[in-house]
Amino acid sequence: MAHLKLQETKDNINERYKWKRNLIKMLYQRGYNKEKILELFHFLDWLIILPEDLEQKLDQELEEFEGGNHMPYITGIERRATQRGLEQGLEQGRQEGRQEGRQEGRQEGRQEGEKQIVIRLLRKKLGELEPPLLENLETLLIEELEELSDAILDFQSKKDLSVWLESRKNKPI
């Protein structure tokens, strides 16, 4: 129901607010225990995101509702802690993503640099390389490029390079 209401209210934030409030109130009215209400509340809070001013208004309305119905399952403190937890989780995820991205970028840069050096060495030793050979070189992993850089010293012709590349296709990585 939450997902459907999210879709229905995508262009009307006030209507979305009303549905989030109503869905949360329904959690209480259905007689769920505290753990179930908190679990479903966390899901609704994650799914239906409102601007800060409407979140504060919702907090206030729910505190009044809880107090009037003697159902203090989700206090304002728990709601704000949930929100802070979500924000901290998002920030941690962003930081981990940035770190992973930098690491992948360094690895790709290292591989690209190694590939360019190997191609330069091959051109210097064997002359211009045909497109099929260059295409095969593009598929090599960094470990294979390092092995190839050692093997270049033994190459006498492009045929030696072709044989080496062909041998890589049958070798497990």
Give residue limits of the domains in the chain.
2-74, 104-169
Instruction: Specify the DSSP class assigned to residue 152.
Output: G
Per-residue pLDDT at 10: 80
Per-residue pLDDT at 125: 92
Is the C-alpha dihedral spanning 26, 32, 35, 39 positive or negative? negative
Per-residue pLDDT at 83: 65
Is the C-alpha dihedral spanning 138, 141, 145, 151 positive or negative? negative
Residue 74 to residue 83: CA distance in whole angstroms: 13
Q: For the whole model, what pTM was predicted?
A: 0.45
Per-residue pLDDT at 129: 92
Give the closest residue to 144 by CA, choosing from 118, 125, 106. Answer: 118
pLDDT (tens place) for every residue of the chain, 173 residues total: 777 877 888 888 888 888 888 888 887 788 777 778 778 877 887 888 888 888 888 888 877 776 666 555 555 546 666 666 667 777 888 888 888 888 888 888 888 899 999 999 999 999 999 999 999 998 888 899 999 999 999 999 999 999 999 888 766 65
Per-residue pLDDT at 56: 84
Per-residue pLDDT at 117: 92
Per-residue pLDDT at 127: 93
